[in-house]
Amino acid sequence: MKKSVLLILTSLVSFHLAAMEALTDSDLQQVEGQAGADLSLKLVLNQVNASDSYYATGNAYKFDSDTGGVCAKLEFCRLALSVNNRYVDAGGAANSVSGNKLWVVFKGIQGTINIQKLGLDGVDLVYRGIDAAGTPWIKPAIQLGFDATNPIQIRNFGFNALSIEKDEFTSQTNANGTVTENSSGATADKYGYLKKTIYDATTAANSTYDQGNETGFMGMRMNGNLALQGKIMMFSCNSTSNKRC
């Protein structure tokens, strides 16, 4: 009896294994699945919702620089970039080996970007091959879709001031490409990207517009709705199947 049961189970397993076959491209074209997913993404950077009773302003979002806010210390809400081998010497002349390191500093980085709807689907991408017959190729692809009726909302996105700053101590580039800073004993505000400089009543020709703002030569602020219609398809390929690869 035990041998008979074992024989029956073995036959069932053998049957299922034999029934598993690889699907051809034509077979895959006939397969239909469920729809993908709709995603919503929201980025809020250094901002606070002004609808909160604590912030009585007319804007939807505002720079969070009030007492106790994320950017109460303005120097910590920045983006600074330093390109390799960019120094100035004691006389202010450019030097590519050593000197005071230069920084491009975006001050008061902030913004809210709300992507209300981003479609994510898996699709078959069909295109003609590069052979003489133009044989159709099928590639699985990831498709990102946008709907113009659900625009991307951009609120107060940008920076308050852009400036070029330099460290108050010297650095040098070593032969192996590393950088050594001669910053022993230097305080935080000696770094170019942490300098706390604002326009006061005695600077900027007594401009009432600039007073109290961080120093710099330009700023950017974006508000609006970006309506996109279309799709982006991403797939893997090689040079033997597609001229674009």
The pLDDT of residue 67? 87
Report yes or no on 224 lying in a domain: yes
Report yes or no on 15 lying in a domain: no
Q: In whole angstroms, what is the distance from residue 203 CA to residue 211 CA?
A: 8
Do residues 198 and 124 make contact, with C-beta atoms less than 8 angstroms apart? no
The pLDDT of residue 99? 95
Report yes or no on 241 lying in a domain: no
pLDDT, tens digit (0-9, with 9 covering 90-100), for 58-77: 457 888 988 888 999 999 99
Number of independent structural domains in the chain? 1
The pLDDT of residue 166? 94
* pLDDT of 159 over the 90 cut: yes
| Number of other CB atoms surrounding residue 161 within 10 Å | 22
The pLDDT of residue 57? 44
Report yes or no on 2 lying in a domain: no
Report yes or no on 244 lying in a domain: no
pTM for the whole thing? 0.69
pLDDT, tens digit (0-9, with 9 covering 90-100), for 120-155: 998 888 877 666 777 777 888 899 999 999 999 998
Confidence tier at 90 by pLDDT (50, 70, 90) = confident
Report yes or no on 137 lying in a domain: yes
* Element of type H or E holding 16: helix 2-19
Q: Whole domain around residue 161: which residue ranges?
A: 23-234
Report yes or no on 1 lying in a domain: no
Do residues 118 and 199 make contact, with C-beta atoms less than 8 angstroms apart? no
Q: In whole angstroms, what is the distance from residue 187 CA to residue 184 CA?
A: 9
Report yes or no on 8 lying in a domain: no
Q: Which two tokens mark 15?
A: 């049957």
Confidence tier at 51 by pLDDT (50, 70, 90) = low
Strands (E), the chain: 37-45, 47-49, 61-63, 78-81, 87-88, 94-95, 98-107, 110-128, 136-146, 152-173, 179-181, 218-226, 230-234
Exposure class string for 8-43: b at 16+ Cβ within 10 A, else e: eeeeeeeeeeeeeeeeeeeeeeeeeeeeeeeeeeee
* Secondary structure tally for the chain: helices H, strands E: 2, 13
